[in-house]
Amino acid sequence: MTAADLQAYGEKKPGVSWDMPFGPDVLVFRVAGKIFMLAPLDEPGTINLKCDPERAIELRERYEGIVPGYHMNKQHWNTVDVMGSVPRQLLLELIDHSYELVLASLPKKVREGLK
């Protein structure tokens, strides 16, 4: 999955924006200003995604391409290989999961405004 594929998939979700606050090497996706996905452009084979802590452990044990989040809170973030070791359908599901976790943390009024 390329950065362009990730960008196209992420942008379809309500309230999503992206920017590059850490410089030109990291594409950051946000929902209502909160980060749910980071795509390092200098390492185009991985992305960082938020994940439920229990599910994160399970995924890391099951998939070699899912490891604790690089430069992130390792309890809540995974670094995920997007170059084939993680099935595409699971990758899309994990992006959705990350988005939903962040969305659920937003105030109700903000969530309702995104629909």
User: Is 115 inside any structural domain?
Assistant: no
Q: For residue 77, give the CATH number of its domain.
A: 3.90.1150.30
The total of other beta-carbon atoms located within 10 Å of residue 60's CB is 17
User: Is 14 inside any structural domain?
Assistant: yes
Which domain, by its residues, includes 70? 3-110
88 phi/psi in degrees, rounded to 5: -55, -45
* Rounded Cα–Cα distance for residues 34 and 16 (Å): 9
Predicted TM-score (pTM) of this structure: 0.91
User: Is 54 inside any structural domain?
Assistant: yes
Q: How many domains does the chain have?
A: 1
User: Is 24 inside any structural domain?
Assistant: yes
| Tens place of pLDDT per residue across the chain (115 aa) | 777 788 889 888 999 999 999 999 889 999 999 999 998 887 678 999 999 999 999 999 999 999 999 888 888 999 999 888 899 999 999 999 999 999 999 999 998 888 7
If DSSP codes are grouped into helix, strand and coil, which group holds residue 65?
Answer: coil
User: Is 49 inside any structural domain?
Assistant: yes
